[in-house]
Structures are given as C-alpha cells and as structure tokens.
Chain A
Amino acid sequence: MPSFIISRLLSTLTVILGVITLIFLLIHLVPGDPVQAMLGETATPTDLEALRQALGLNQPLFTQWWQYMTHLLQGDLGTSLYSQEPIIDIMIERFPATLELAIAGLLVAILIALPLGSIAALRKDTIYDNSAMVFSLLGVSIPNFWLGPLLILLFSLTLGWFPVSGRENFLSLILPALTLGTALSAILARMIRSTLLEVLNEDYIRTARAKGLRESAIVIHHALRNASLPIITILGLQLGTLLGGAVITEIIFAWPGIGQLTIESIQRRDYPLVQACILLISVSYVLINTLTDVLYAWLDPRVRYSV
C-alpha cells in the first residue's frame, strides 16, 4: 500500500506541474499585447510599463515561469488587477461556496440515481426500467444552462417556493444543486444499473437467495455492497467534473463561488485572477482523482497488487 500511494503521489505531482505550466502559458495566448488588453486603450505608457514590470512580462519566458512557480509555492498567487486585493484572499472567500454547491450536487445525484438505478436493475425490461433509462437519456442530454432557467421559471417565478438566485439560506441551495446534479444522476443511474445487473448474476447472490434471505437484505447487504466499488470511482471522478460544471450553474443562479468569479474576471480582463481560478479548480480536480484512486485501492486489495 505505501508504495502504491507514493507512486500515485509522484504521478499526481508531475500532472500538477504540467497543469500549472499550461495555465502559466495561458496569459501569453492573449492576442496582441496582454498588458494593453488588461488596461484598455486609455492607459498611459507609464501604466503599461508598470504593469509589465509587476507581472514580469518583460523577462525571458523561463524566468517568468520560474518566478510563477516559486511564488505559487510560497502561497503567493499575485494581486487582482481589478480589486488590488491579494488573490489568495479572494480564493479563500469564494471557494467554500463552490465546494458547498458541488457537494450538494453530488448528494442530489446520489439521491436520485441510487433508487432509480437499483429499481431499473431489479425490474429489468419492465416499464420501471424503461422509464429510468429514458430519464437517464434525457438527463445527459439536457444542457444545465437550459434546465436551470426552466427550474427558476417553474419553482421560483411561478410557484414561489425557492429564491431565484443568490446564496442566503438552505432553500437557495436547492435549485442550483438540482441543476448541477441532474446530468450526474443520469450517468450514475446507468452505471448503478449495469453494475448491479452484473453483480446479481454472481454465485454469492444465488447462495444468499438459497439461504432464504429477504430480497431487501440481498440487495442492500450483498448486491449493492459489492457494486459500490465502481460506483465510488465514478463518484470521485465526477465530483471534479461537478467543480467544472459549477461555472455555468453559478452564473445562472448568481452563486458567489469560484465559477462566477472566473467569468467576472474574464469580463474584466483580470487575467491573473482568471489563471488562479482555473488553477484552483483543476488542481482540486487532480487531487480528488488521486484520493479516489487511493481510496479504491484501500477498499479493494486486488487493485494495489495489480499495479
């Protein structure tokens, strides 16, 4: 196990190094002069030069990269061009909202997918199975930037049950979580169905039946438990995807997280802040994936010996 963890951590480290480098290069993709783009047409040459100095853009590329890395290691993400605050403070302020939304989305997905996938597998080729699969197909196909407004139209504007936007209390979390979790619930329901169908054919299920166990005990203790491994993997991978999908959901519901911050800083041409937002989300994504791998290996010894 320790050697498995070490090898996983090493490859994670190289991936993170690559991610940071790629994000570092983003600012060099700005068409024309990035400093001019950030300050606008009215900037004086002195202002331009000052910002160029501050961002280190007048130095060789490798020196810039080296500075970027050393600053990152010291927890220095730079300053926002718009608010002049240290970026790290803005991140700390905004990240909990995104995390809260992603976890709520994950919970919604599990709450929908677990019963749906299980019923579909247990009642295979019946109307229940078919409707669950139609839901799943709709769920992966519906864009969240359309689902969100539809939910607002129905539950906020017409019925008045939930607030239209913002992050005030528990109620304001419901619609964003539903919007974010629907696509995942559809993927997950399919996954649970197919895994469960495989498990239900195993010998130990037949043994459990022969022992005369109740059907609910068979499903919960024998089938779902064995089906849980691939499901955990998918959940881990998808939690990261939720962080990415949160960008659009946060915009729809004016949710004050990293996603909304990303789009705001793109509009304000606050590129150091854009870089930091992308960095935070993708590094969290990589770390969550690594954690899932390790968890999986811990739960299933077969995995760590095969590597």
Chain B
Amino acid sequence: MFKYQILIPSSILILWLILAILGPWFPLEPNHIILPNILQPPSLSEWLGYDDLGRPVLDRLMMGARTSFFVAFGVITVSLTVGTLIGTISGWFGGYIDLIIVRIMDVFLAFPGILLAIALSGILGPGIENVVFALSVVGWVGFARITRAQTLSLKHREHVLAARALGASIPRILRYHIIPLLMAPLLIEATFGIAGIVIAEAGLSFLGLGVQPPAASWGSMIRDGTGYMLVAPHIVLAPGLTLLLVVLSVNMLGDKLRDKLDVKSQ
C-alpha cells in the first residue's frame, strides 16, 4: 500500500515532466483545426476527441502540460531564490533591517490567495512571462518567512558560533552553515508551492489573464469547454482531470515528504 502511494504520484509527475520537456519533439498538432470534427467525442483514432474549434484535445492537453510545468518551475526558482535571500538576511542581521523586512512581508501576506496575482496579471496584460512575474511576487513571502524564522534560531547554534569565532565571513556562514540546514522545510514548502502554482496558473488562464491563445493552458481549455458541457463534456473533463491528477500527486508526495523529513506543519 505504502509503495503505491509514492509510485503512482511519482509516475504521474514524471510523465508530466517528460511531456513538458519533450513536447516539441512529439508530432503534435495542437492548433490544427479540422472543421468537420468540431466537438467530436473521444474515439479510437483520437482518444480525447476534439474541442469547439475542431482541434485535438489530447494534443492541446500535452501542450498545456508544458505551460503549467514551465510556469511552476519558473515561479519556484524565482521565489525560492529571492525568498531565501531576503529571509536569511532578515533573520541574520535582525534590528531595523529585520523590522522593515517583516513589515514588507506583512503587507504581501495581507492579500488573500491569488488576488494580488489576478491584479498584477490583469494590469500587466496576458502572457506567460507576466504570469510567472505575478505568481513570483506572491510566492516569495512563504519562503522568506520560513527562512527568517529558521535563521533566527540557527544563528545561535554552536556550530555557527564556532564558524564566527574562526573568522568566517557572513556570506560564507550563511552559505555553508545556515542555508544547508534550511533545505528540508524549504523543500516541503516548494513541493506544496508547486501544487498551488499549477492551480493558480490554470486559474489565471481560466479568467483569461494567463497565456494567450492559441497557446494551450489547462485552465483556458476548461474555460473554453464550459459553454459546451451538455453536448461535449469531454472538453471540460479531460483538462480538469489532468489538472486534478497532477495537483493530487504533488500534494500526496508533499505529505509523504513532510512525514519523512518530520517538519512540523505550521
């Protein structure tokens, strides 16, 4: 039982990764419109049928995998780097620097959910870069908060004092004596972060604020399909189920990871 709980979600995520990276080398035709096939249900020749413009749903789904993957990893990379840097600086130096940074973090935390991302991408206009930017602006705070709290307690540990006594420079101490010890909580935050970002990207695209047509996103596929739910439910079911599977897999692995690394949830 235990094995399957890791094996199945990992396989789903590996499939996601392969589709995202190798997508351009598959013979996909996500934008090929075949008018007689409009709203055609799934069949043996085209497994997931066709959408409202007569484009193959499976091909668009695979292109959508690429969109969500690149947004997720782009946002995680940016917010992890920025958040860790700001968090360690705040925790290490304390005093006024800490006070100001904590206030700034409070302001960013004062926006509920993806509201700030909606506002930012609404104002900047649609496009994948703007989505990455908007979600990173929201995402860095989580990492900064964790790093700051951990740094505050770590900086009084004996091994850090020893390093200081030996005359190690501050960047060196942060790099070799503090940040390696932050890896477990950061890894868990990043895992759950991926789940949140995948949903947020699809949500922004659902609202028409994400990637621009004809590029595919699972969110915009759901939006386009909602008008045809009675006649062609597969257009909504396929991207939604895919999205659910990916997010579910990430959350399951996150839970297992948290149990394994034994980090108290906040």
Contacts and interface: CB of A to CB of B under 8 A. Distances in A.
Interface in A247-294: 247-248, 251-252, 262-263, 266-267, 271, 274, 278, 281-282, 285-286, 289
Interface string B183-211: 00000000000010001001100111100
Interface stretch (B50-58, B59-67, B166-174, B243-251): B243-251
A247 B118 contact: yes
B122 A282 contact: no
Contacts of A31: 124-125
A143 B252 CA distance: 16
Given A137-B252, A153-B230, A143 B118 contact: no
A153 B112 contact: no
A33 B123 CA distance: 12
A56 interface: no
B71 interface: no
Specify the main secondary structure of chain B where it touches its partner.
Answer: helix
Interface residues of A, number: 48
Contact of A141 (B104, B195, B203): B195
B111 A263 contact: no
Contact of B112 (A16, A27, A281): A281
A274 B120 contact: no
A15 interface: yes
Contacts of A240: 112
Interface string B248-266: 1001100100000000000
B77 to A, nearest CB: 22
Contacts of B251: 137, 140-141
Interface string A11-23: 1001110110011
Nearest to B246: A141
B110 interface: yes
Name A's interface SS.
helix
B248 A15 contact: no
A251 B122 CA distance: 15
Nearest to A237: B112
B222 A149 contact: yes
A243 B112 contact: yes
Contact of A145 (B119, B219, B252): B219
Contact of A143 (B116, B203, B230): B203
B35 interface: no
A29 interface: yes
Given A18-B106, A146-B240, A247 B115 contact: yes
B176 to A, nearest CB: 34
A29 B110 contact: no
Contact of B123 (A30, A140, A247, A251): A30
A241 B113 contact: yes
Contacts of B195: 141
A175 to B, nearest CB: 14
A163 interface: no
A126 to B, nearest CB: 15
Contact of B122 (A141, A245, A274): A274
A14 B103 CA distance: 8
B236 A146 contact: yes
Contacts of A152: 226, 229
A232 interface: no
A285 B240 contact: no
B112 A282 contact: yes
A217 interface: no
9 contacts: A15-B103, A19-B107, A137-B251, A142-B247, A145-B202, A149-B222, A150-B240, A271-B123, A289-B110
Given A247-B114, A263-B118, 19 more contacts: A14-B103, A16-B110, A18-B104, A26-B120, A29-B124, A30-B124, A141-B247, A143-B243, A146-B240, A243-B112, A244-B115, A248-B203, A251-B207, A262-B119, A281-B112, A282-B111, A282-B112, A285-B110, A285-B111
Interface of A: 11, 14-16, 18-19, 22-23, 26-27, 29-31, 137-138, 140-143, 145-146, 149-150, 152-153, 157, 240-245, 247-248, 251-252, 262-263, 266-267, 271, 274, 278, 281-282, 285-286, 289
Interface of B: 103-104, 106-108, 110-116, 118-120, 122-125, 195, 199, 202-203, 206-209, 219, 222-223, 225-226, 229-230, 233, 236, 240, 243-244, 247-248, 251-252, 255
